[in-house]
Amino acid sequence: MRGGAYWHCLRGVVTRELLRFVHQRSRFIAALVRPLVWLFVFAAGFRMALGVAMIEPYETYIRYEVYIVPGLVGMIQLFNGMQSSLSMVYDREMGSMRVLLVSPFPRWYLLICKLLASTLVSMVQVYVFLLIAYVYGVQAPLTGYVYILPALLVTGFMVGALGLLLSTFVRQLENFAGIMNFVIFPMFFLSSALYPLWRIREGSYLVYQIASFNPFTYAVETIRFALYEQFNMTASTIAIVTTLVLLTMAIWGYDPSRGMLARKGGE
């Protein structure tokens, strides 16, 4: 097939995901309510306890609201990635996913198109949230809103690939919705999204160790440093490697001849 056919496929998958997002207004509102509640309500209480937070290794001290915004950006992408994978399970049950996966395009390409579409949707949500935070007074350097783009792509692909991988183990929509809660909340709360790692270490060394091995921690740190015009090589490398590993496993899982779907009778 020619390159134009692949572009047409990519455009179709992305357009379908964007249209689904536009028609599901409650999804957009819910995606903003969660981080805004943390920013407007919970941050006020935590600010009294923490005062300022430090970005390592540059030892830059900032207000807690400024610190928490990148973590809330990660929350938006995490929930969106899981919800996008939930729609994959729904499409598979309804049969529309079968039509897509039996097309002449390679499955790995279709899955990457799906992940890209999901990531673009989450990026729209992120920038609306950042705009509200900017009006609220939590402002990053203007160039930081541009530097954050690659970080959002990596994080979006990472959580999306994780969701795709989980969807290969689940056949029913109800089961996947339950599993989401056992993945989202530990990944989010056992990370540096809400507290700096040094503060977690002071409270519990065990939780600090868990957060240090949590790949979501490094996704959030990649976003945090990029938003404030800095680059964290360690966090970015770990986030990219994790993304590649999860994406490879998800593609393998959707391979009907080798992956988990083959053990369950295919599509």
Question: What ranges do the domains of the chain cover?
Answer: 3-263
pLDDT at 206: 93
The rounded percent of the chain whose pLDDT value lies above 70 is: 77
pLDDT, tens only, 157-166: 999 899 888 8
- Global pTM reads 0.83
Rounded Cα distance, 117 and 32, in Å: 19
- The torsion angles phi and psi of 60, rounded to 5 degrees, stand at -100, 120
Rounded to 5°, the CA angle 169-112-181 comes to 40
For 7, what's the count of Cα atoms within 13 Å in the CB-facing half-sphere? 3
Rounded Cα distance, 128 and 32, in Å: 8
Segments of the chain scoring below 50 in pLDDT: 48-49, 52, 57-61, 259, 266-267
pLDDT, tens only, 163-216: 888 877 776 666 666 677 788 888 999 998 888 888 788 888 999 999 999 999
pLDDT at 58: 42
Strand partners, 62: 53
